[in-house]
Amino acid sequence: MPKRIVRFLIFLSLSCASSATVLNGAENLPVKKEEKVLSIIQPYDKGIYTEEYISVTFQVDPDRVDTVKLFSSENERATIEMEEDRDTYHYLFRFSFGEHSIRAEAFKNGKRLAREKVKIFRKAFLSKYYRVAPPGYEVKFFHNDKMEKRCDMCHDMSVNEEKGVAFYDISESNCFDCHQSLLYKKFAHAPTVNFVCLPCHNGKTGEKNRKYRGKSKFLYPDPIGDTCFKCHKKNRKKWLARRNLHDPVGAGKCNLCHNPHSSDVNKNFLRERVWELCTSCHADKRSKKRYIALFKYRKNDGIGIDQKFIEGDFLCITCHDPHSSDRPYLLKEDYNGIENVCLTFSKEALR
Ligand code: HEC
Ligand code: HEC
Ligand code: HEC
Ligand code: HEC
Ligand code: HEC
Ligand code: HEC
Ligand code: HEC
C-alpha cells in the first residue's frame, strides 16, 4: 500500500468518529450514514466505458457490514472482508466488449443485508456490434469536485504533473493509485508509461465532444489528432504533406485504430491486429484468399511477384499505408493499375 494512502487512512479513522454524514448515492445527496448499508460509487450505473479494466469502488456502513461479495457478469467474483474504520473499498474487474453488470452483496455474520447492482457498457471503437451502446446508456464523468470529495480523505486528488517533467518514480503521480491498470498491458504508450496524462487530458473538448465541456477536469479533445501531432511532429510533417490522407486520419480520429494508452496487440498499440483492424471498416476485404488468388494469377500471367504474397504472409499494410500516401488508394508502391487487386476481385475469380 502506498505511503500516502496509509497516512490518509489514519486520518480517516480519526475523522470518522466525528463525521455525522457521508455522501451517498450517484446523485451525491448527503444522507445520514445509517440510511445506506451499501452503495456502489463507481462505475456509474448505465455508464459507458472503453478500457478493459474497470475498478469497482463501493462504500459500506462499517458498523453494520463485515463482508461484501462482488459478482460480475463475466463470472468473476470476489469476497472482501471489511477492516476497522474503513468504509470505502475497491476491486478491479476485467470486461470484454458489450453490456455487463456488477453486483454487490453486503453481509453481517453470514446474513445478507443489502444488494446493489450496476450495469455498464464497454464500448468497442471498431466492432459494429459494440460501437454504439443500447438505449439508456451514456458517457458519465467522474472528475468533478463533488465526486472527488468522496475520495480525498484517502487519495490525493490534486494534479502533481508538471509540464515537460517526467516523474522519477511513476508511483509519485497522484493519478497512479487509481489508474495503474492502464499499464496492465503488454505494450504501453510512452506518455502513459511515464504517467504523463495532461498533454491529452487537458480538460479541453473538440468538435466532436463539445457537449461534454466542463463535465470533467480531464477531458480530451475529440478529435485527438492535433494533440497526437503535438508530440509526433515528424509524422505530421511527413503524412500531411502527402496528397491522399486516409479518411480517419484526416478526421483526426487516431484513437479509432490506436488505443492512446496501451494495448496487448503490438508496439504501435493498435486496437486489433492489422487484418482485423482494417477489415472492421472495410468488411468487403476480409477474405485473404482473394489476394492470394490474385497474385497467383499475376504470376501465371508472367508478372514477377514477391514470394511473400504467394505464401499468404502479408497484411493490408504490406501494400497500403495506414495514414497517407502520394499514390492513389494509399498504396506504398507504384502501381500501374492494370489489375483490380482489391477493388473488383469477385468470387468467380477464386474458382
Ligand atoms: C477509506 C480510504 C479510501 C477511500 C475513501 C477511497 N479509497 Fe481508493 N484506495 C484506498 C486504498 C487503501 C487503496 C489501495 C488498494 C486497496 O487497498 O484497495 C485504494 C485504491 C484505489 C484504486 C485502485 C484499486 C483498483 O481497484 O484498481 C482506485 C481505482 C480507487 N482507490 C478509487 C477510489 C475512488 C474513486 C474513491 C472515491 C469515490 C476512493 N478510491 C476512495 C482507500 C480509499
Ligand atoms: C481516487 C482515485 C482517482 C484518482 C486519484 C484519479 N482518478 Fe481519474 N478516475 C477515477 C475513476 C474511478 C474514474 C471513472 C472510471 C474510469 O473512467 O476509469 C476516473 C476517470 C478518469 C478519466 C475519464 C474522465 C472522467 O472524468 O471520468 C480521466 C481522463 C482521468 N480519470 C484522469 C485522471 C488523471 C489525469 C488523474 C491524476 C491527476 C486522475 N485521473 C486521478 C479515479 C481516480
Ligand atoms: C495520447 C493521449 C492520451 C494520453 C497520454 C492519456 N490518455 Fe487517457 N484517454 C485518451 C483518449 C483519446 C481517451 C478516450 C477513449 C479512447 O480513445 O480510448 C482517453 C480515455 C481515458 C479514460 C477513460 C477510460 C474509459 O474506460 O472510459 C481514462 C480513465 C483515462 N483516459 C486516463 C488516463 C490517465 C490516467 C492517463 C495518464 C497515465 C492518460 N489517460 C493518458 C488519450 C490519452
Ligand atoms: C506527450 C507526447 C505524446 C503525445 C501527446 C502522443 N504521443 Fe505517441 N509517443 C510519444 C513518445 C515519446 C513515444 C515513443 C517514441 C519513441 O520511443 O521513439 C510515442 C510512441 C508512439 C507510438 C509507437 C511508435 C513509435 O513511434 O514509437 C505510436 C503508435 C504513437 N505514439 C501514437 C500516438 C497517438 C495515436 C497519439 C494520440 C492519441 C499520440 N501518440 C500522442 C509521445 C506522445
Ligand atoms: C486506420 C487506422 C489508423 C489510424 C486512423 C491511425 N493509425 Fe497510426 N498506425 C496504424 C497502423 C496499422 C500502424 C502500424 C504501421 C506499421 O506497422 O507499419 C500505425 C503506426 C503508427 C505510428 C508508428 C509508426 C510510424 O509510422 O511512425 C505512429 C506514431 C502512429 N501510427 C500515429 C498515428 C497518429 C498520430 C494518428 C492520427 C493522426 C494515427 N496514427 C492514425 C493505423 C492507424
Ligand atoms: C474506422 C474505420 C476505418 C478503418 C479502421 C480503416 N479504414 Fe480505410 N477508409 C475508411 C474510410 C471511411 C475511407 C474512405 C471511404 C472509403 O473509401 O471507403 C477509407 C478509405 C481507404 C482506402 C481507399 C483510399 C482511396 O484513396 O480510395 C484504403 C486503401 C484504405 N482505406 C485502407 C485501409 C487500411 C489498409 C486500413 C488498416 C490499416 C484501414 N483502411 C482501416 C475507414 C477506415
Ligand atoms: C497485395 C497488395 C494489397 C493488399 C495486401 C491489400 N490491398 Fe487494398 N488495394 C491494393 C491495390 C493495388 C488497390 C488499388 C485498387 C485495385 O486495383 O483493386 C487497392 C485498393 C484498396 C481500397 C480502395 C478501393 C476499394 O476497393 O474500396 C481499399 C479500401 C483497400 N484496398 C483496402 C484494403 C484492406 C482493408 C486490405 C487488407 C484486408 C487490403 N486492401 C490489402 C492492394 C492491396
Average pLDDT over residues 319-324: 93
The predicted structure's pLDDT at residue 284:
81
Reported as a single tens digit per residue, the pLDDT across 188-233 is 999 999 999 999 999 999 999 999 999 999 999 999 999 999 999 9
Is residue 165 lining ligand 4, measured as CB closer than 6 Å?
no
Reported as a single tens digit per residue, the pLDDT across 138-187 is 999 999 999 999 999 999 999 999 988 889 999 999 999 999 999 999 99
The predicted structure's pLDDT at residue 290:
61
Is residue 271 lining ligand 3, measured as CB closer than 6 Å?
no
Is residue 44 lining ligand 3, measured as CB closer than 6 Å?
no
The whole-angstrom separation of Cα 111 and Cα 104 is: 14
* 90 Cα to the center of ligand 1, angstroms: 6
Taking the CA of residue 196 as reference, the ligand 3 atom at the shortest distance is 37
Neighbours of 184 (CB within 10 A): 14
Neighbours of 312 (CB within 10 A): 11
DSSP sequence for 55-79: EEEEEE-TTT-SEEEEEETTS-EEE
271: phi then psi, degrees, rounded to nearest 5: -75, -30
Q: Where are the domains of the chain?
A: 3-157, 176-272, 288-350
Question: Does the pLDDT value for residue 2 go beyond 80?
Answer: no
Question: Does the pLDDT value for residue 23 go beyond 70?
Answer: no
- DSSP summary character for residue 342: S
Reported as a single tens digit per residue, the pLDDT across 254-293 is 999 999 999 999 999 999 999 889 999 998 887 766 665 5
The confidence band for 81, taking pLDDT boundaries of 50, 70 and 90, is very high
The whole-angstrom separation of Cα 12 and Cα 37 is: 19
Report the top-level CATH class of 3-157. mainly beta
Is residue 72 lining ligand 4, measured as CB closer than 6 Å?
no
The confidence band for 92, taking pLDDT boundaries of 50, 70 and 90, is very high
Reported as a single tens digit per residue, the pLDDT across 40-54 is 999 999 999 999 999
The confidence band for 318, taking pLDDT boundaries of 50, 70 and 90, is confident
- pTM, to two decimals: 0.92
Question: Does the pLDDT value for residue 301 go beyond 70?
Answer: no
Average pLDDT over residues 47-70: 96
